[in-house]
Structure 1
Amino acid sequence: MSFGRLLGACAASMALVGYVAAHGGAHQKPLQVDPQADWATRHMAEEHHIGNFDPGAFFSLHDFDDNGSWDTAEILKFYGMEDETAKDVTQEKKDEIVREVLKLVDSNGNGVIEREEWMNFSRGEGGKEKGALPDFGTGPGHHWDMEMEYEIHHWEKYHDENTKEEDLTHPEDIEHFRKHDELEDAAEAQEKLDKQAIVEHNIPSKFRKE
């Protein structure tokens, strides 16, 4: 895909059709959030463009496999530990995130957070003090794909439907389209391999003719 076609795709995607379908609405500009707001509030505003939500909505949105609980992988995912921005986060830090969140919310100690446990924690029900997810200093919790992350955290802040190709000069723009080129090159290379009856480099060396 050419640079110009990618620009067109980005402009068209400002409608955020997929996002609206999945989450019931979206803003085209980042929400303003009190810097002192708790981590979950900032996460919802920055990553989901949602400024008004209840604990049940927060839970459902981050129950990625829709099984009624958050496991270790889901906790790490909504804290952004699967995103490339977390590539330098140590395993010790990731273990700390899981350990501390479970300690706060997992009241039955089974290693996952059920919806009821989350509701009790976040609303202060069941005799518990109302709590909030801690901020571990690892950012807003990126967990979208490459295209949506670029849209939310860069395009919407600095570009709009009037953006021209020559305006895409920010380091984030250049890096984004570089990744597109890499993915396209990899896809084309794989397509060529798939068309070959025999892939030479997959043949064990002892069976190759010198």
Structure 2
Amino acid sequence: MTCAAFAAVAIAHGGAHQKPLQVDPDADWATRHMAEEHHIGNFDPTSFFTLHDYDDNGFWDKSEILKTYGMTDPSAKDTPQEKKDEIIREIMKLMDTNNNGIVEKEEWTAFTQERKGTLPDFQTGPGHHWDMEMEYEIHHWEKYHDENTKEEDLIHPEDIEHFRLHDEMEDEAERVAKLDKMSIVEQNIPAKFRKDV
């Protein structure tokens, strides 16, 4: 990792440093999710719904449910499709009372407030749904590092993987920048139009 890259990352992570919230191990899944993923310890069902209505259209579709449970995060790449199907099936069975394939805000409200329901724990973790930086921040940096962390302290496998990804992104950005400067990119010319074929 370059010194400039470390400095940028250290500033970014050091500036937002916050210790994780402590949560009762017997807390329901939504409470643990809000504490671990959002650093929110006090919330109501309406705010939970709104926060996870990613496109702000008043309902959760299947992709939003999977995202909330972390099934679209790279860490879930080995989760079998059957497990993802189970999550959708169970959530719809609990809340989709009009059987239209989505969970509307009114259905959520009826489930959480009238029927006193809670989101099930499918044993898939806290529900990662941030970008690479934020996931590293909240699940690693905050637990093991702080604003006094030096480059030589970043020795955990999570640190090494995080900065490897930074290096890959930097290399890709440099490659694209070089291609952008070229007036003709030979690799982009179809073979049938090349003279050397």
Which of the five TM-score ranges fits, normalised by the shorter chain? over 0.9
Q: Give the equivalent residue in structure 1 for 2:180.
A: 194
After TM superposition, give the deviation of residue 15 of structure 1 in Å. Answer: 3.4
Taking the aligned partners of 1:198 and 1:3, their CA distance within structure 2 comes to 31
Taking the aligned partners of 1:180 and 1:73, their CA distance within structure 2 comes to 27
Letter in 1 for 2:121: D
Q: Is the 8 A contact 2:67 2:129 kept in 1?
A: yes
Q: Give the equivalent residue in structure 2 for 1:119.
A: 109
Q: Give the equivalent residue in structure 2 for 1:10.
A: 9
After TM superposition, give the deviation of residue 145 of structure 1 in Å. Answer: 0.4
Matching of residue 49 in structure 1 with residue 32 in structure 2: no
Matching of residue 174 in structure 1 with residue 164 in structure 2: no
How do 1:48-197 and structure 2 match up within 5 A? 48-123=38-113, 125=114, 129-197=115-183
Task: Give the structure-2-normalised TM-score.
Answer: 0.94
Q: Is the 8 A contact 2:15 2:147 kept in 1?
A: no
Letter in 2 for 1:175: E
After TM superposition, give the deviation of residue 87 of structure 1 in Å. Answer: 0.4
Q: Is the 8 A contact 1:3 1:177 kept in 2?
A: no
After TM superposition, give the deviation of residue 96 of structure 1 in Å. Answer: 1.0
Taking the aligned partners of 1:10 and 1:203, their CA distance within structure 2 comes to 38
- Note the alpha carbon deviations across 1:183-208, whole angstroms, 9 max, x for none: 11111111111222221111121221
Taking the aligned partners of 2:110 and 2:190, their CA distance within structure 1 comes to 59
After TM superposition, give the deviation of residue 4 of structure 1 in Å. Answer: 2.5
Taking the aligned partners of 1:147 and 1:119, their CA distance within structure 2 comes to 32
After TM superposition, give the deviation of residue 174 of structure 1 in Å. Answer: 0.4
Q: Is the 8 A contact 1:29 1:157 kept in 2?
A: yes
After TM superposition, give the deviation of residue 107 of structure 1 in Å. Answer: 1.2
Q: Which moved more, 1:173-182 or 1:87-96?
A: 87-96
Taking the aligned partners of 2:158 and 2:106, their CA distance within structure 1 comes to 40
Taking the aligned partners of 1:179 and 1:196, their CA distance within structure 2 comes to 26
Unaligned 5+ runs, structure 1: 17-26
Counting matched residue pairs gives: 195
After TM superposition, give the deviation of residue 69 of structure 1 in Å. Answer: 0.6
The ranges of structure 1 where at least 4 consecutive aligned residues each deviate by more than 3 angstroms after the TM superposition are none
Task: Give the structure-1-normalised TM-score.
Answer: 0.89
- Sequence identity percentage: 72
Q: Give the equivalent residue in structure 2 for 1:21.
A: none
The CA RMSD over aligned residues, in Å, is 1.3
- Note the alpha carbon deviations across 1:55-86, whole angstroms, 9 max, x for none: 01100110100111100110011110111100
2:41 counterpart SS class: coil
